[in-house]
Structure 1
């Protein structure tokens, strides 16, 4: 019987090329994914580029073709894993606002999506990394603060400001309100992940915790039915 030409074990057959060799355009993403895994496991200080290279299936020198340093690679990880999510949320919010979606629905959807992100394995790993290590890297801390935290707050604040302008929300400082809502979501998501420490006070399901936080937040913002909304404040 003639040998199967697709069988790599046949005499003289060339072994299958590693995926990174067959698809070189995917190398940056493979390196980023490998870096995220290694950063999550070893921390930013403990992560070594040779370990990232082995996990990605490339040489250490190949990493330098795309990323000049470990710090630049971390920025790429943040962009791929977190900033792309924020960008998608910004685009979705703009599209729905153009379609005249009410601000209450927009804010509820944003908080639901934010909760899902906070409970994802990607966020949990990134949160541990940021909390434990970024204070050793001031430039990266500022980058994360500007591109993730502040950008997310601005998106939330923009929806609140639109709700105030439409008379759906009471008059508040939109950015301050965004910080409060974000803190409520982040704190409760983190508490839920450690609920074994709060057995007497957090026995609900994740969905119940999420819905309670969102209902509480909206109750404080939405103009009560039948009430005349106050005019937005103006600077003197």
Structure 2
């Protein structure tokens, strides 16, 4: 029995083998992230990624010529895309800077922590020192745009008189680092002790934002 076809964007049906081919990059990224977080980037072999994705090693190299390029694709899709989505939410926001930080940023972090994107932070912290090219890519794609996005929110609040004048760069770090630690915890101690004092990540995020906002308000 032949496999069913599915509608293409043009309304016509695409053969199943073409649909499968189109899905392969995503399947490889999903498999790579899962293995990188479980075993570490250095310890994961490309054959293992291909096997988990259900393709040959040769097929993997057709899409990603090296393991480093595969990790870059993971970073770009899981975190760079999230930062772009966050920037779009900030641009569309019409309320106060306080609401922006409290609602938009909280929702963004809750979404990241709840998804497998959170595993990228553990991966970067534990592995990237041995891969300078990946470190620079991560800085360009995640650290710098993410820092700039949050710094812009803070500066807007200061300019409007909602927030007292603070060291913006230091405050960005104060906002971000506990959230990054929450992601790392999820994939380290949180795996062994899922019911420990960290509790519900969404509650932690809201509590952290509340503490920060009370320190920022003029």
Q: TM-score range by the shorter chain?
A: 0.7 to 0.9
User: 1: CA distance between counterparts of 2:216 and 2:102?
Assistant: 11
- From 87, 103, 118, the counterpart of 1:90: 87
1:114 Cα shift?
A: 4.3
User: 1: CA distance between counterparts of 2:198 and 2:123?
Assistant: 27
Residue of structure 1 equivalent to 2:123: 129
Query: Which has more radius of gyration?
Result: 1
| Superposition pairs of residues 107-186 of structure 1, within 5 angstroms | 107-117=101-111, 119-186=113-180
* Contact in 2 for aligned 1:20/1:27 (Cα 8 Å): no
**In the alignment, structure 1 residue 218 sits paired with structure 2 residue 216:** no
User: 1: CA distance between counterparts of 2:198 and 2:51?
Assistant: 43
SS in 2 for 1:58: coil
SS in 1 for 2:116: helix
**Higher mean Cα deviation, 157-166 or 123-132?**
123-132
Q: Aligned Cα RMSD in Å?
A: 3.0
In the alignment, structure 1 segments of 5+ residues that lack a partner are: 1-7, 9-13, 224-236
Residue of structure 1 equivalent to 2:8: none
1:208 Cα shift?
A: 4.2
* Contact in 1 for aligned 2:46/2:57 (Cα 8 Å): yes
* Equivalences, count: 206
Residue of structure 2 equivalent to 1:104: 98
Distance verdict in 2 for CA 1:126–1:209, change over 3 Å: same
* Contact in 2 for aligned 1:20/1:58 (Cα 8 Å): no
User: 2: CA distance between counterparts of 1:65 and 1:204?
Assistant: 43
In the alignment, structure 2 segments of 5+ residues that lack a partner are: 6-15
User: 2: CA distance between counterparts of 1:120 and 1:203?
Assistant: 14
**In the alignment, structure 1 residue 65 sits paired with structure 2 residue 70:** no
**In the alignment, structure 1 residue 43 sits paired with structure 2 residue 40:** yes
* Contact in 2 for aligned 1:118/1:186 (Cα 8 Å): no
State the TM-score, normalized to the length of structure 2.
0.80
Residue of structure 2 equivalent to 1:3: none
**In the alignment, structure 1 residue 30 sits paired with structure 2 residue 27:** yes
User: 2: CA distance between counterparts of 1:110 and 1:15?
Assistant: 43
Q: Identify the structure with bigger relative contact order (alpha carbons < 8 Å, sequence gap 6+).
A: 2
